[in-house]
Amino acid sequence: MSIFAWIETFEGKASPTSWEALGAAKSLATSLNTDVTAVILGQGATDIASEAGAYGADNALVCDDTTLEPYRLEPYAALLSQLVSEHNPKAVVAVASTSGRELLASSAADTNSGMIGDVTELSIDGDDLIAVRPAYAGKVTSTVKASGATTFVTLRGRAFPTPEKGTGTATVTQVSPVLAADDITTQIESLESESESVSLTDAAIVISAGRGMANNPNAAPADAADATVWKAQDGFANVIQPLADTLGAAVGASRAAVDAGYIPYEHQIGQTGKVVNPDLYIAAGISGAIQHQAGMRGSKVIVAVNKDAEAPIFKLARYGVVEDLYDFLPALTAELKKR
């Protein structure tokens, strides 16, 4: 009756937020007086198992087979479901990344188990698993009790602390893939992201911008004889990105900015975009619609920059700046660069 933690890997490295899942699994295991098993699949899995030991895993089930690279749901779910059927863990925990959500949901269905998604607190009461998760776009939180044999749980990124890295080692068991290469029908064509240098869901600081990027009071009118046509995309490149680079932040956006084509969808924060949980969230030129809040209201400190003092984002913000973002943000970047 171990606790499983799925360690997500990409190009031979563990995703940093996977260690949060391992830490949460360790807390459950301690309450149940049992051990934690890291499930590590894909390229570099054996090396990552040593790291998992240092972060607190007692055991590691490892499969470094080429059929598991890159990540695809079919071979991963087949193998995870088999491991769950063989070991009957009390819980399978992973971060609620895109892959974590689909893998755990699929494997929960395969093994006829329960599933709780996007959890922000996790504990044990007797034999039951108690999970707290946001509902209705973050307006309320619900507490869910799971008493099944195995429960699959995805955790909101950065809602749980990363455990201290120690000197522990995990007992490693090599396992074999379930599907042969010929049985895997999904082919992946991978496209490099052009701009993102800091992952949004892992980022400690996120700077997001919205439709307000279209209103640059300092831009020359488009019909001026010598003006090159000014676009909101230039605002992302020349105002938001330099501030992000200065702070080591990731760049997010509202859906309005994405729909208008200022920035690609992968940057969208909100109900139909990514959910982020950074230490600092700066919202510039974003009104704060409920659907946007669904993706960022868990941020620890929120700073809003908006020229409309009545914008709803100010109700959520710890610090509010009623200013034109095109005046305030470059001045902030310049000031931060001096430090």
- Subset of residues 198 to 217 that bind ligand FAD, contact rule: CB under 6 A: 210-212, 215
Question: Is 46 near ligand FAD (CB under 6 A)?
Answer: no
Q: Name all contacts of 79-85 with Cβ < 8 Å and 24+ positions apart.
A: 79/41, 79/175, 79/177, 79/178, 79/179, 80/6, 80/39, 80/41, 80/107, 81/106, 81/107, 81/110, 81/111, 82/178, 83/4, 83/39, 83/175, 84/4, 84/111, 84/113, 84/150, 85/111
CA-to-CA separations, 134 to 124, 151, 208, 288, 295, in angstroms, rounded:
19, 18, 22, 18, 11
Q: Binding residue for ligand FAD (CB under 6 A) from 120, 241, 246, 271?
A: 271
> Is 293 a known ligand-binding residue?
no
Q: Which is nearer to ligand FAD, 13 or 307 (CB)?
A: 307
- For ligand FAD, the closer CB: 41 or 294: 294
Identify the burial level of 61 via C-beta atoms within 10 angstroms of its C-beta, where 0-12 means exposed, 13-18 middle and 19 or more buried.
buried
Is 277 annotated in a binding site? The answer is: no
- Least CB distance to ligand FAD at residue 208 (A): 8
Residue of 268, 277, 299, 333 that binds ligand FAD (CB under 6 A): 268
The reply to whether 272 sits near ligand FAD by the rule CB under 6 A is yes
Least distance between ligand FAD and beta carbon 290 (Å) = 7
- Letters for 228-257 (x = contact with ligand FAD by CB under 6 A, - = none) are --------------------------xxxx
Q: Is 278 an interacting residue with respect to ligand FAD (CB under 6 A)?
A: no
Site for ligand FAD in 89-108 (CB under 6 A): none
| DSSP secondary structure string for all residues of 134-160 | EETTTTEEEEEEE-SSSEEEEE-TTSS
Residues 6+ apart with CB under 8 A from 238: none
Q: Which residues are annotated as a binding site for FAD?
A: 211, 254-255, 268-272, 285-292, 306
Return residues touching ligand FAD (CB under 6 A).
210-212, 215, 254-257, 268-273, 285-287, 289, 291-292, 295, 305-308, 311, 324-326
